[in-house]
Amino acid sequence: MTAIAHKPHIWTRAEFEHLVGSGVLDPESRVELVDGEILDTPPQKSRHATAVQLIDDAVRAAFGRHCSVRARLPLAIDGYSEPEPDIAVVTGGPRDHRDAHPATALLIVEVADTSLAFDRTRKLALYARNAIPEYWILNLVDAVLEVHRDPTGDAYATRSVLAPAERIAPLQAPAQPAIAIADLIP
């Protein structure tokens, strides 16, 4: 007799959206689809939530009205993933995404404390593989901003770590005043 190995079911984005639409998954539940896996996302601690608000304010000022800043909203990034990054800057206005979630972003920011390893590996590979040009991790553990640019395969060719005394200009908003890293850290 041949043994059959058990393996997890890999969910497509269409199946995932059907689970939500049919009520099997509560639309208010804190889950996201990453590489075909439905993952629970941890609740946000106060410091994490404060950082998300600070980043939201800073990137809205940097990008102005020509983009939408989406906090904890889905991205239909590929056929097997629908992450909900802490911040995603997308082209167009909110009504441009009324009938479907955006499929890409100009900038994605994840705030990381307990999720730091996951954000540096699985999320980084997902965003690089889907050609997100710029990915930031606000590392609350070390109080730094990790900046990833130039996606190539499952990685980014350029990585820099910025301390609170430094500043950054997003790639897609270079003409605006640079954002002080200290302004992002709670």
Residue 120 within a domain: yes
pLDDT tens readout for residues 24-52: 988 778 899 999 999 998 888 999 999 99
Q: How many distinct structural domains can be found in the chain?
A: 1
Residue 34 within a domain: no
Residue 119 within a domain: yes
CATH of residue 129: 3.90.1570.10
- Report how far residue 35's alpha carbon sits from residue 122's, in angstroms, rounded to the nearest whole number: 9
* Res. 1: pLDDT tops 70: no
Residue 1 within a domain: no
The DSSP output letter for 66 is G
pLDDT of residue 68: 93
pLDDT tens readout for residues 102-150: 999 999 999 999 999 999 999 999 999 999 999 999 999 999 999 999 9
Q: Tell me the average pLDDT across 178-183.
A: 96
* Res. 66: pLDDT tops 90: no
Mean pLDDT across the chain:
93
pTM > 0.85: yes
Residue 8 within a domain: no
Residue 71 within a domain: yes
CA distances from 169 to 15, 67, 84, 163, 176 (A): 38, 15, 23, 14, 7
Domain housing 159: 44-183
